[in-house]
A and B are shown apart, each in its own frame.
Chain A
């Protein structure tokens, strides 16, 4: 099946700093999503972005499907941005339903 690798696995920032999280995937995809898992465990959908660029406030994401990677940018980070960020994909081959997750990036933003 499709493989999803995220980097870095852990990231510590001071409040106000910018960061870039990366997601590499091993095959063509029909779906790519970025999620933020909050301290209560809920997965919050940040972006549905199988290709192109999107922005939502201080967050933006870019997926270059032909090169099989996606980037999540966080600008002017805040302590509330802390948590685990997941990239997840649905590959074009095989099952069209299975959302495969990377192992996540644990972001800690210190005041």
Chain B
């Protein structure tokens, strides 16, 4: 069965420090991969998505970047964190066939606090 792993679970980083969050998927090939952020107040915002190795699309201009060095690995990075980067970061995957999208599965999330 397919599983998604995301780490670390919690992270406290000082302003100006770098960031690297990793997400890996098992049990499937060529998944679509996504990074979402949930700020305080419940809303979830799509940050990046990827349909293949090296293919990254950004939804929102920001202090973050994403990379997909391997088929089932998705990394969220920042060179210098801002206070506004604090939030709950969720990785997700989906399999797409034709124009139908058969559902998203989310990882357990990383709670980032920038101090």
Contact = CB atoms under 8 A, between A and B. Distances in A.
Name, among B46, B51, B99, the residue most crowded by chain A CB atoms within 10 Å (CB to CB): B46
A87 to B, nearest CB: 11
A40 B102 contact: no
A10 to B, nearest CB: 11
A99 B104 contact: yes
A98 B59 contact: yes
Contacts, number: 62
Contacts of A92: 99
Nearest to A49: B103
Contact of B42 (A33, A84, A98): A84
Contacts of A98: 46, 49, 59
Contacts of A43: 90, 106, 109
Interface of B: 32, 34, 38, 42-44, 46, 49, 51, 59, 88, 90, 92, 94, 96, 99-106, 108-109, 111
